[in-house]
Structure 1
Amino acid sequence: MMQVSKRIAAARPLATTAMHERVDILRLQGESVIDFSIAISHFPAPASVRAAVAEALQQPLLPYTAVGGAPALRQQLAGKLREENGISAGAQHVIVTNGAKQALYQSLYVMTDPGDTVIVFRPHWPAYVATGQLLGLNIVLVDQPEVVDAAFLDRLPRAKVLIINNPHNPTGKVYTKSELDSIADWLRARRCHAIVDESYEKLIFEGVHHSLAACKDWEELGIVTIFSASQSYAMMGWRAGFASAPAVWVKAMEALQGPITAAVPALSQVAAEAAFAVGDVPELLADYRVRRDLVVDMFATQPWIKMPAPASGPYLWGDISGITRDTVGFAETLIEEFRVAIMPGEALGCPGFIRIGYIADDETTLRKGVQAIISLGKRMAES
């Protein structure tokens, strides 16, 4: 009998991608489905990105680049880190990747050995846990507090790596400078390293984005910072991301990436160069703010759900534990009866919650999908 390796036998597809693929299958069968399971922007990629790629396609050659990315791109991204994030980085601290997931995998791979402990705050992006499990790591889930301070951090177990998502998916939390200073002090005291996923850095409604690595000793502390164009620049399918890391880890990540994918495709690198030069995205942010407020207002009159307005990001995180903690069952009923897809909280470590990606489609479709969720919630609350 054909068998798979022990390394992969226990692995399962990410719940986030599995639900989205289920939507795709239903649509191929002719079904009309509203997909809130992941965040896919209704905005196109920035005009400068599309223009840069169109120009590159007119060139006679698209050669291989260095595994870690074209030198000019790495220099540009290092400049972005210095100017926008306050991270003292050079080209040797940058590696260009196929989105944030590759950066995460390669970072954890070179920073840890099987059996090492990694702390992940809950609720969490599912890829943090899945990647750690693939690498044989001991994943410790800790409930993320409203405020991260020294007292909270002192209660954490010993670990090799702490993973932080700032801004946070799915709650929208934006870490304050004080919180990040407390984390940096804790890293120094514990000799723990950190991976900080800053993929939503441009999608902030309230608060100011700060980078943990904007401290003088970031390289000594071992802080890896991950960036992606997918959400900040509405470029989900372009797979354009990068990481900044201590130079010795960048070299190790290149050694890992080389035999797997080699360099990111040349066109994706062209897109990344144009995207990360854009800076802020006020038009996109203003549109998302209106949508966020619309959905929060629609839920405000419903006693069975607590749906706060997030300070950042393309997701809403709703507490429906008053009617059920089985949000897998809630999501199943919703897609089967109403043809609306959401992400159950179990996928992010928190039963009793639902995650809604509210940035796709038009406003009419958005309202229709939210109304379906309200209809199911009211039915369950009254039963």
Structure 2
Amino acid sequence: METSQRIARSQPLATTAMHGRVDAMKARGEEVIDFSIAISHFQAPESVLQAVRDGLKQPSLPYTTVGGDAGIRARLAAKVSSENGIAASASEIIVTNGAKQALYQALYVMADPGDAVIIFKPHWPAYVTTCKLLGLEPVLVDLPATVSAEFLDSLPPAKILIVNNPHNPTGGVLRADEIERIAAWLKRTGTRAIVDESYEKLIFEGVHTSLAARPDWQQIGIVSIYSASQSYAMMGWRAGFAVAPSNIVTAMETLQGPITAAAPMLIQLALASAFESGEPMAMLHEYRQRRDMVLDMVHGLPWMTMRCPASGPYLWGDVSALTMDTKQFAEELLNQYAVALMPGDALGAPGFIRIGYISDDIATLRRGVEAIIRYGNARYRAR
């Protein structure tokens, strides 16, 4: 049976495709170390687990309105008001089945086919893939070390700017002055913004500032996306939400209604409890130790440079001294050493590799990094 032309023109998301390959290998009984995505070895916070237990004791878990239960939306509005400085009401919150759904729906209702969307690279692959699915035109621009007014003024006209802060994969965190410049540019050009703040809780150095933390965020047209997946070790829960002007939320509900309707009430309870559970300090402490261990292991390699990320569950390595074809790097590493990682080509940056360092135990992390080093050293000597 033939498929539609539009899906025939589409490609699977690179990150999920690699993870799917790893799962298939494991299902066949093969031992694989998976650094291709970040899956925390931590459990969700106890308050989240308790919220689920309590939810299961309720007489029923009903359908809610598409955008989410009114009480849950109010709790999430209180979260972004107190923690992010975003003055939002419950009507400006929509609960979604993870951040990807929020991204898809925001792009769908904010732009029409053919509209340009600026995406900084390296980038999370879903930004580009989602734009292409919707017939939008992704415009890839190298993310500079500092977002200056001159850089912003050099950007081409676009309907939407996607901002990822904290940034996947580099781990960069935008400074408050950079956020102000972006807001001024948005106002000056009339460009709207989608801001992915999924890693807001995973910051080692610096301070996270929300672009929408300003009184005129609705007039500028800013949609902010949040996820419990990484911040609270809830990858499989598919729990996320977006903050947007009320007319955008209404439009996103119109789209979400016939697709998934509301997120499950049990997940909504878990989501609100996660964001009320405080800072994940124990998790951050261990992540920092893991990050520093890997940085120590790769320090001084002649073929890789890896900077210390200020945030996030990933390490971003420059292997351009060895190869610009990181797809081949990733394939050979998987085939020869049973270690999976994400090639930079998939994130718009050939010559780089992304390592998710938060899965499994420390011994497995060390063993996987040692395999990467052995593989790279062998290729470097054979040049």
Q: Report the TM range for the smaller structure's normalisation.
A: over 0.9
Moved more, 59-68 or 226-235: 59-68
The superposition leaves residues 226-279 of structure 1 with CA deviations (integer Å, 9 ceiling, x where unpaired) of 000000000000011000001000000000000000000111111101101112
Aligned equivalents of 1:342 and 1:85: distance in 2?
A: 33
Return the alpha-carbon distance in structure 2 between the equivalents of residues 77 and 62 of structure 1.
Answer: 19
| Residue 6 (structure 1) shift | 2.2
Q: Report the CA distance between 1:207 and its aligned residue.
A: 0.1
CA distance in 2, matches of 1:211, 1:8: 35
Q: Distance in 1 between matches of 2:54 and 2:182?
A: 44
Match of 1:8 in 2: 7
The superposition leaves residues 320-357 of structure 1 with CA deviations (integer Å, 9 ceiling, x where unpaired) of 00010110001001110100000000110111100000
Amino acid at match of 2:26: R
| Whole-Å separation in 1 of the counterparts to 2:104 and 2:278 | 26
Structure 1: 5+ residue stretches without partners: none
Report the 3-state secondary structure (helix = DSSP H, G, I; strand = E; otherwise coil) of the residue aligned with 1:110.
Answer: helix
Distance in structure 2 (CA, Å) of the matches to 1:86 and 1:65: 27
Give the letter for the 2:346 counterpart.
A
Task: Please name the residue that 2:226 is paired with.
Answer: 227
2:316 equivalent to 1:312 = no
Q: Which runs of 5+ in 2 are unaligned?
A: none
Letter in 1 for 2:329: F
1:349-375 residue CA offsets vs partner (Å, 9 max, x unmatched):
111100000000111000000000000
> Which residue of structure 2 lines up, in the alignment, with residue 350 of structure 1?
349
Q: Which SS does the other structure have where 1:162 is aligned? A: strand
Normalising by structure 2, report the TM-score: 0.99
Q: Which residue of 1 aligns with 2:18?
A: 19
Asked whether 1:149 is paired with 2:148, we answer: yes
Q: In 2, Cα distance between the equivalents of 1:58 and 1:224?
A: 35
Q: Distance in 2 between matches of 1:266 and 1:88?
A: 25
Question: Within 1, Cα distance between the matches of 2:132 and 2:154?
Answer: 23
The one-character-per-residue Cα deviations of 1:57-110 (angstroms, maximum 9, x if unpaired) are: 122311101100000000010011110000010001100000000000000000
Which of structure 1's runs of 4+ aligned residues deviate more than 2 A?
none
The residue number in structure 2 matching 1:119 is 118
Correspondence for 1:70 = 69
User: What are the residue-to-residue correspondences of 1:275-354 with 2, within 5 Å?
Assistant: 275-354=274-353
Q: Which amino acid aligns with 1:301?
A: G
Residue identity over aligned pairs, in percent, reads 63
- Which residue matches 1:51? 50
Alpha-carbon RMSD: 0.6
Query: Given residue 308 of structure 2, which amino acid in structure 1 is its aligned partner?
Result: A
2:108 corresponds to:
109
Query: 2:267 is matched with which residue?
Result: 268
- Once the 2 structures are TM-superposed, how far is the Cα of residue 7 of structure 1 from its aligned partner? 2.1
1:273-327: per-residue Cα shift (whole Å, max 9, x none)? 1101112111110110000000011000211100111000000000000010110
Tell me how many residue pairs correspond in the alignment. 382
Structure 2 counterparts to residues 87-98 of structure 1, below 5 A: 87-98=86-97
